Amino acid sequence: MKKKILVCGAGGFIGGHLVSDFIKDGSYEIVCVDIKPFEYWFQYFDEVKNYSLDLKEYDNCLKVTKNIDYIYNMACNMGGMGFITNNKAECMLSVLINTNLLRASLKNNIKRYFFSSSACVYNESIQKKTFIPGLKESDAYPADPVDGYGWEKLFSERMCRHFTEDYKLPTRVVRFHNIYGPKGTFDGGREKAPAALCRKVIYAKINSKKSIEIWGDGKQTRSFMYIDDCIRGVKQIFKSKFSDVFNLGSEEQVSINDMVDIIEEIGGYKVRKTYQLNKPQGVRGRSSDNSYVTKKIGWKTNFSLREGLEKTYRWIYDQMVSGSNIQKFTRK
């Protein structure tokens, strides 16, 4: 019989791509759950079992984990910097999802459990300069993560660790560094920088606008990982023998200004940058050090930022111009 996989947060960006990959693999029976109604899932597949349930509730966790072998927990309430800055309490409530899924895992004898953490767990005091050295896994302590969302992720990492130590539940934990790609959010308030900037440049090009708004001064830096690299890394780490916490991100650190320049080249359209210094900006600089995951797992990224942005730009462009009213994509 095929092993049964439960993907939590399957209606989200990463979760949807993970389910799609497992379907292509064909080796597993798949169960999907997300709090959103089905019509709002990023990707929905009829060939798997789907639930629309709130996993902050323990009874729902017990229901969906019954007869499951492996759990991939991608579920949380999050978005880009604007969202996590203005919704700290909502972000922290996601701790109930991981807590109740871990409790249900013990009750229903889950064989292995995956938790998706974030680079937002890293100590903010070492991210105050642009183009800082890549963050190592040990840099999360002493703890000073992003308020709200970062604290929830760091606490949940510890929860996984102690369930492994105390109850022998095999857990796998990764810290995602800014995952992007097609079939993700690019408008509405939860989008991240690559998708938001692609949308802004596309809107300007279509409407012959001369400028776009940039949150901050554009000199803040990040690294951004393409979704295909993310999914491959998730599966490799899950199958490994290690319960360590691993970075999963790109080491290609760029400024926001640099990323806009790349998007302009892809779209063949130049814009003037208008800086919004009162908007949420997050830490000044952040990048991933992948030396540990490469050493232990052998994982490395395959896609450059430009390659990933080309695919993302084309997808967003098609969404904005095909049967849509382009005027609705005017959010700043």
Q: What pLDDT score does 280 carry?
A: 86
Q: What pLDDT score does 322 carry?
A: 85
Residue 118, H or E segment: strand 112-118
- The closest of 245, 264, 313, 255 to 284, measured between CA atoms, is 255
CA-CA distance, 23 to 49, in Å (whole number)?
12
Amino acid (1-letter code) at residue 206? I
DSSP assignments along 36-75, one per residue? S-GGG-SS--TTSEEEE--TTSHHHHHHHHTT-SEEEE--
Are the C-beta atoms of residues 252 and 307 closer than 8 Å to each other?
Answer: no
Residue 31 DSSP SS3? strand
Q: What pLDDT score does 69 carry?
A: 98
Task: Please state the pTM of the whole predicted model.
Answer: 0.94
What are the φ and ψ backbone dihedral angles of 208, each rounded to 5 degrees? 55, 40
* Domain annotation for the chain: domains and CATH numbers: 3-179+226-248 (3.40.50.720), 182-223+252-288+304-328 (3.90.25.10)
Instruction: State the catalytic residue, choosing from 72, 122, 149, 317.
Output: 149
- 149 is a catalytic site residue: yes
pLDDT, block means (10 residues), the chain with 332 residues: 96 97 96 97 97 98 98 92 90 97 98 98 96 96 96 98 98 97 91 95 95 96 98 98 97 97 98 94 94 98 98 96 61 54
Question: Residue 286: which residues within 8 A CB-CB, separation 6 or more?
Answer: 119, 122, 127, 132, 135, 177, 221, 222, 223, 253
Instruction: Classify residue 54 as exposed, middle or buried by CB count within 10 Å of its CB (0-12, 13-18, 19+).
Output: middle
